[in-house]
Structure 1
């Protein structure tokens, strides 16, 4: 528990500061009648780790995919860095996307590329003017940040599930994003590895000064990483608070996540 004390920062917020992400009245329906989001409202403040809980199919992943334009909502407003991303040009959206890291459940590595090539490809795609030496330095720094510098020449098939998550995170970090969206970062991992990933999320927040939205079913991860938690139910925000507050919530359905 000492690690938790070391890395968690005071939960203070400048009331005059605009949220780094602000979502208002977000709706999304798939097909004719599969209404997944029915008016989601949420904010992410600078320097905050926000955990999103909800049953499968409640719209957690759909919400964060809307933020980066992977899914287009039917209705609503999404502001990132005070820009409405639903009403800007593709060029402007891509400029914002570079500042947002997205860690997919699988890690989403290219299986035909080594770890070095996976990271270098992401870097050169967005920063074309770097020299080979600069690219190598950036790759090594990203791998050192996740504790896997010695895996630089491995192929994804040689990595364990936990290592793939870490490499996926290194690839996300290499562009030095201001926001990171984590989609089930500990899914499929054993208890020890899951805690290591959760602690790594805290380390990154501390070192890189990131703001994050963390989608998870893992309550140990939620407890360790969250500054604030929101709970999705039936396409809307059903509850909001700290882990300790929601654990004692009068709503039996909310408390069921913590049992």
Structure 2
């Protein structure tokens, strides 16, 4: 009996080590508007999770809860085994330093060059780096997105696709454990969107990052997501592989994939 208990404890410990993010029965309302109604899901280390859902389904609020920008009404959210709902602002900031963001519009500072945008983000996360370490990190981040030649350009001199790639370089420069992609292919032409999809896949392979990808682009969802969840009215309506959800028995879920 004792050996079985030790085995069970060890098994649970190993399973928990695989979980980087875990939502447990999370609720969030704004007044009478119930946005999240008890969602639960996990993301393993090195896994990309795609979140699909119509406007108002709770996608953005899920991310805000994850990074502590909004407090949950009920439930628990674990990152690396720590319940962030119980952390103070200092504790949340330490967690946020593990998270990189790619915003829909790139969100670069217009008055700064590409180099300055990257350095600003890097120094905000780590003020102890030497000039050589900063220079090496900037070059590596730009190499990852294939834009070394853009280092001294201003955002106004970049195309939409280039701004998105620089935004991704900025997310990568802090060497995050988690990356949150907000509509990574939104507003891009087909060829550029395909390039961004390729970058997302390569980054996961190179750095073993875990990611949440919020997207309306089904091609992006299909080729970047290891797993997909579909939100409806603050609940998880479906969860599984892209192919499995595409062939879901529920008419509402299948409606996402109708041309």
Corresponding residue for 1:20? Answer: 20
Unaligned runs of 5+ in 2: 1-13
SS, match of residue 118 in structure 1: helix
Q: How far off its partner does 1:90 sit?
A: 2.1
* Distance (whole Å) between structure 2 residues aligned to residue 103 and residue 147 of structure 1: 16
Aligned positions, number: 245
* Distance (whole Å) between structure 2 residues aligned to residue 255 and residue 244 of structure 1: 11
TM-score after normalising by structure 2 = 0.91
Q: How far off its partner does 1:103 sit?
A: 1.5
The 8 Å contact of residues 18 and 82 in structure 1, kept in 2 or not, is answered as no
CA deviation map 1:203-247 (0-9, x unaligned)? 000111101111110000000011110000011101011011111
Corresponding residue for 1:11? Answer: none
* Distance (whole Å) between structure 1 residues aligned to residue 16 and residue 36 of structure 2: 29
Q: How far off its partner does 1:15 sit?
A: 4.6
CA deviation map 1:165-209 (0-9, x unaligned)? 111110110010011111111111111111111111000001111
SS, match of residue 73 in structure 1: coil
SS, match of residue 204 in structure 2: helix
* Distance (whole Å) between structure 2 residues aligned to residue 175 and residue 127 of structure 1: 8
Corresponding residue for 2:11? Answer: none
Q: How far off its partner does 1:115 sit?
A: 0.5
- 157-166 or 113-122, which deviates more: 157-166
Bigger Cα Rg: 2
SS, match of residue 39 in structure 2: strand
* Distance (whole Å) between structure 1 residues aligned to residue 16 and residue 85 of structure 2: 25
The 8 Å contact of residues 39 and 236 in structure 1, kept in 2 or not, is answered as yes
The 8 Å contact of residues 51 and 212 in structure 2, kept in 1 or not, is answered as yes
* Distance (whole Å) between structure 2 residues aligned to residue 28 and residue 118 of structure 1: 34
1:151-170 correspondence runs (5 A): 151-170=150-169
Corresponding residue for 2:241? Answer: 242
TM-score after normalising by structure 1 = 0.91
1:25-36 correspondence runs (5 A): 25-30=25-30, 32-36=31-35
SS, match of residue 36 in structure 1: strand
* Distance (whole Å) between structure 1 residues aligned to residue 20 and residue 94 of structure 2: 15
The 8 Å contact of residues 179 and 211 in structure 2, kept in 1 or not, is answered as yes
* Distance (whole Å) between structure 2 residues aligned to residue 157 and residue 127 of structure 1: 27
The 8 Å contact of residues 26 and 76 in structure 1, kept in 2 or not, is answered as yes
CA deviation map 1:63-117 (0-9, x unaligned)? 0121111222222211000100111232222111111112211111111111000
The 8 Å contact of residues 100 and 177 in structure 1, kept in 2 or not, is answered as yes
Corresponding residue for 1:10? Answer: none
* Bigger share in helix: 2
Corresponding residue for 1:41? Answer: 40
* Distance (whole Å) between structure 1 residues aligned to residue 202 and residue 23 of structure 2: 27
The 8 Å contact of residues 228 and 242 in structure 1, kept in 2 or not, is answered as yes
The 8 Å contact of residues 52 and 229 in structure 1, kept in 2 or not, is answered as yes
* Distance (whole Å) between structure 2 residues aligned to residue 52 and residue 153 of structure 1: 35
Could you say what the CA RMSD is over the residues aligned between the two structures, in angstroms? 1.3
